[in-house]
């Protein structure tokens, strides 16, 4: 869809076009629902893991009529999560453990946007559209510390190649995002939220309601500059 749209845009003479890069902060949010009782999906426990990192990519913008247009491009996102040391009980500080996650993904996005010109070469914008994400790596590690000695890694696996079927994630994810931004001449800032539309677990147990209502969302704030901007 993105390739076909990009080809049609370059084939016509649009009043405003721009190509540039963007970089910013990203926070993927892994939401997983696990039922208390496997026989029902109503009584569920929600596990929320927030990762923090950065996003970098390229973008192409085009305006069609007045301020209505589109923005498309490719981003790379890296994010990590550290649960911190947690003790097994409330009485003693040891033993304790922590979980660390390292997440890599590449995404292709197509947003429809509208720019409000508030001053000369100054715009406010609203945008919405789909994103296709492809997971490159999701490495997870669990460290354990029995006493005050050095911690020992007791578990290490990949979310895409785990031997445990319950820990396998899909590489592909589709999200729908909404956001707002500001542009001054060649410079812009955008921020928004992407809602995950797919169940992230590869082996979802639909019969028992297990792993059926989770999703991967994402916050993002990006700043960028158009290297080429045709008025």
- How do residues 89-117 score in pLDDT, each as one tens digit? 878 888 899 999 999 999 999 999 999 99
Q: State the alpha helices, DSSP H only, in 11-120.
A: none
Confidence of residue 121 (pLDDT cuts 50, 70, 90): confident
Torsions phi, psi for 4 (to 5 deg): -65, -40
- Give the model's pLDDT for residue 173: 94
- pLDDT > 70? residue 42: no
Query: Among candidates 104, 23, 19, 105, which has minimal Cα distance to 56?
Result: 23
Q: State the alpha helices, DSSP H only, in 152-228.
A: none
Query: Three-state SS for 47?
Result: strand
DSSP codes of every residue in 174-207: EEEEEEEEEEETTEEEEEEEEEE-S--BSS-BTT
Q: Which residues pair with 62 in a beta bridge?
A: 17, 70
Q: Where are the domains of the chain?
A: 2-230
CA atoms within 13 A on the CB side of 39: 0
- Note whether 50 and 81 are within 8 A (CB): yes
172-184 and 122-145 strand pairing: antiparallel
Query: Three-state SS for 209?
Result: coil
Confidence of residue 133 (pLDDT cuts 50, 70, 90): very high
Query: Three-state SS for 164?
Result: coil
DSSP state of 201: B
Query: What CATH class has 2-230?
Result: mainly beta
**pLDDT tens column, 67-85:** 899 999 999 999 999 989 8
Confidence of residue 34 (pLDDT cuts 50, 70, 90): low
What's the rounded Cα separation, in Å, for the pair 86 and 77?
Answer: 28
Which DSSP helix (H) or strand (E) runs through 224?
strand 215-230
Query: Among candidates 54, 1, 67, 44, which has minimal Cα distance to 23?
Result: 54
- Give the model's pLDDT for residue 57: 97
- Note whether 98 and 142 are within 8 A (CB): yes
Query: Among candidates 153, 1, 22, 6, which has minimal Cα distance to 76?
Result: 22
- Give the model's pLDDT for residue 207: 55
Query: Three-state SS for 179?
Result: strand
Range in 61-65, 118-122, 187-191, 199-203 with the lowest mean pLDDT: 199-203
- Give the model's pLDDT for residue 200: 84
**pLDDT tens column, 145-160:** 888 888 899 888 888 8
- Give the model's pLDDT for residue 11: 46
What is the pLDDT averaged over residues 55-60? 97
């Amino acid at each position: 869809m993105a390739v076909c749209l990009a080809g049609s845009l370059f084939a016509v003479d649009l009043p405003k076009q721009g190509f540039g890069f963007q970089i910013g902060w990203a926070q993927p949010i892994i939401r997983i629902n696990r039922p208390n009782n496997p026989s029902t999906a109503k009584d569920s426990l929600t596990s929320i893991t927030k990762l923090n990192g950065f996003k970098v990519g390229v973008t192409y913008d085009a305006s069609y009529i007045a301020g209505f247009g589109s923005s498309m491009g490719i981003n790379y996102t890296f994010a990590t999560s550290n649960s911190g040391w947690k003790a097994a009980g409330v009485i003693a500080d040891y033993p304790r453990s922590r979980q660390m996650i390292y997440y890599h993904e590449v995404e292709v996005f197509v947003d429809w946007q509208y720019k409000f010109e508030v001053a000369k070469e100054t715009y406010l914008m609203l945008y919405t559209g789909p994103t296709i994400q492809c997971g490159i790596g999701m490495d997870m590690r669990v460290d354990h510390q029995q006493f005050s000695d050095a911690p020992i890694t007791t578990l290490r696996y990949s979310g895409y190649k785990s031997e445990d079927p319950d820990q396998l994630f899909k590489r592909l994810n589709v999200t729908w995002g909404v956001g707002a931004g500001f542009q001054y001449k060649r410079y812009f800032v955008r921020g928004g939220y992407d809602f995950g539309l797919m169940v992230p677990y590869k082996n979802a147990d639909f019969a028992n309601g297990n792993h059926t209502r989770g999703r991967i969302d994402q916050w993002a704030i990006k700043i960028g500059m158009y290297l080429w901007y045709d008025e």
